[in-house]
Amino acid sequence: MSSPDAPRRRSSRPPPRSEPPPRLLATVFSRASLAKCVPIALVVGTLLSLVNQGSVLFAGTATGVTWLRVAVNYLVPFCVSSAGFYGARRSRP
């Protein structure tokens, strides 16, 4: 049995939330999210595509696989920025 002066253990669990977290798809595809995440994806995706596939694109020798890589270059920054947006919304009190 512990003494009354002994320090209490802290729980590693966060306090219970008063409301459920926002729905993922509704948040990611909301107007506010798209207004922030689409421009980020366009800028970063364009830079990635120019760096990674620019020579193939400008030479005119792009294949279907090249265009798939270009699409992924836009999709990845969109997903990353959307995850950040969702995390920020979820952590709001």
pLDDT number for residue 65: 97
Q: Per residue in 1-55, pLDDT tens?
A: 556 666 666 667 766 666 667 889 999 999 999 999 999 999 999 999 999 999 9
Whole-number pLDDT of residue 12: 72
- Has residue 15 been placed in a domain? no
Given this model, what pLDDT does residue 18 score? 66
Q: Is residue 17 part of a domain?
A: no
Q: What's the domain range around 48?
A: 24-90
CA distance 57 to 78: 22
DSSP code for 13: S
Tell me what the mean pLDDT of segment 73-83 comes to.
97
- What pTM, to 2 d.p., does this model score? 0.74
Task: Report the domain count for the chain.
Answer: 1
Count the helix, strand and coil residues of the chain and give each as a percent rounded to the nearest 5.
65, 0, 35
Q: Would you state the pLDDT for residue 93?
A: 65
CA pair distance 77, 48, nearest whole angstrom:
10
